[in-house]
Amino acid sequence: MPLSQLQHNYFYRAEHIRVTEEGVIDSGLISGYRLMQQAAQAVFDVIESRYPQGKICIVCGPGNNGGDGYELAHLCHQAGRAVQVLQWAPHKAVSGDAHVARSNLKATGVAIQPIEHEAQLPIAEDCQLIVDAILGNRCRSEANAALSALFRSINQHSADVVSVDIPSGLHADTGVAINGAVNANITVTFGAYKLGLLTGQARLYRGQLLLADLGIGDQFERYSQHLGQRCDARDIATFIKPRQATAHKGQHGKLTVIGGDLGMPGSVKLAAEAALRAGTGLVTVVSHEQHQAAILQNRPELMFCRCELVDMEVYSRLGWANVLLLGPGLGQQEWGYNLFKACILSEKPLVLDADGLNMLAIEPSRNDNWILTPHSAEAARLLQCNVTEIENNRLQAVQALQQKFGGVVLLKGPGTLIYDGQQLVVADVGNPGLAVAGSGDLLSGIIAAIWAQGLSAFDSTVAAALIHGSAADVAAEKGQRGMLPSDLLPYIRTMVNP
């Protein structure tokens, strides 16, 4: 399904945002100053709704983000709110619309206090809310001790924080915060989503993310090409449709799950059970004979194929399936390697996870009929780099993986990225409760299940990521710590019946 048919929401690079804003202003549709006023109004409306009482401290930088802050201070003052305004980098010239906003605020009699020492902000003791209007999209990638001190000072204060457009310090394209960043409780972003608010370290800093399109949201495709699309739980129904009244199991796919080396039956069982809960009609597990009882216990709906050697029965189970899933608990010994080679040679649609990916790193090949699901460490092995390089630019990493290996690549992590060489999606779901062994097995099982039911490889991967993360979000209502992958199984069933 083309991305344009999804419910919402395109995201862009910071440069695309700038180009669009300039294009809209140059066209005469709106002035730069009016756009600044609308941005300030959007933040003011959030503050009035969420923080209707208490003193507000607004920290303004020298650019247009600071201009938004000055306009916001003007609105707060007009509404009778007690407001303190701090100016960071007072030695830097404030120009353009930001200068107009600052001058208009000064004319009201509101004092603007310069910040002399970043490590000791003169925030009023009775301040109930801090507004971060320091950098916006102007964050750079080089270290800056003064900025680090400024962010620490804000974060150490007891007041809640609202960030204007993007938490200062967070890179708008990568989600990296080389100097740290402001820890916002709420971020009000403008115009369209930025990738750096959706992946990388963004969730450490952004808090609740709200989008205000400022009346120009429909102009972005005129001036810029979107980078990709943000999806969440609301998009599941775009992919998963009700079953026909006359449906039978053969119409819902046949999946073979291969893995579970000696002593590791849990991974392959989790993947297979997740596939059943995601709606696959028939699921066979290929594993060691000694695992049969453990895998079929409490899950008699699964079929089992004993495998000590890759024999004709195993090849039969591979040929029977619409889709193969290789990797959960596979190990990296001869047994697993022989199964890896058999799956590759089968030319069947293939989901590769876990040790299947580690073997691919050793014997690289390219295939447009598979789905790869690496986490950062597996991605680093596949690209022969280190994890830091992956995390410093997750978009570049997922693009490099797809270019090298083909197919669809899902790069796990907060703000999971899915890319097929043309389409890019961020799955903005999930939580830290997934940071436990077995979560990836569930995900690969769901991906394979949806693919076996007839969706395209890309749509299957997006849908599965949304189902997996959304099920985790429901399960986390009972607490993230101690959440087990098996806790998600009943919620997976809920998510595939939207």
Measure Cα distances from 100 to 36, 60, 335 in Å.
Answer: 10, 14, 71
| Contact status, residue 371 vs residue 460, Cβ threshold 8 Å | yes
| Strands annotated E in 327-482 | 350-352, 370-372, 408-411, 416-419, 424-427
Rounded CA-CA distance 495/498 in Å is 6
Measure Cα distances from 117 to 86, 169, 212, 362 in Å.
Answer: 12, 18, 33, 52
Pairing mode of beta strands 408-411, 416-419: antiparallel
As annotated, the binding site for K(+) includes 65, 132, 168
280: left (phi over 0), alpha (psi -120 to 50) or beta: beta
Nearest CA among 446, 493, 410, 473 for reference residue 274: 446
End-to-end CA distance of the chain: 18
As annotated, the binding site includes 64-68, 132, 136-142, 165, 168, 329, 375, 412-416, 440-441
Pairing mode of beta strands 350-352, 370-372: parallel
Q: Quick one: 206 exposed, middle or buried, by C-beta within 10 A (0-12, 13-18, 19+)? A: buried
Q: List, in sequence order, the alpha helices (H) in 108-201.
A: 145-156
As annotated, the binding site for AMP includes 412-416, 440
3-class SS of residue 197:
helix
Q: Quick one: 215 exposed, middle or buried, by C-beta within 10 A (0-12, 13-18, 19+)? A: middle
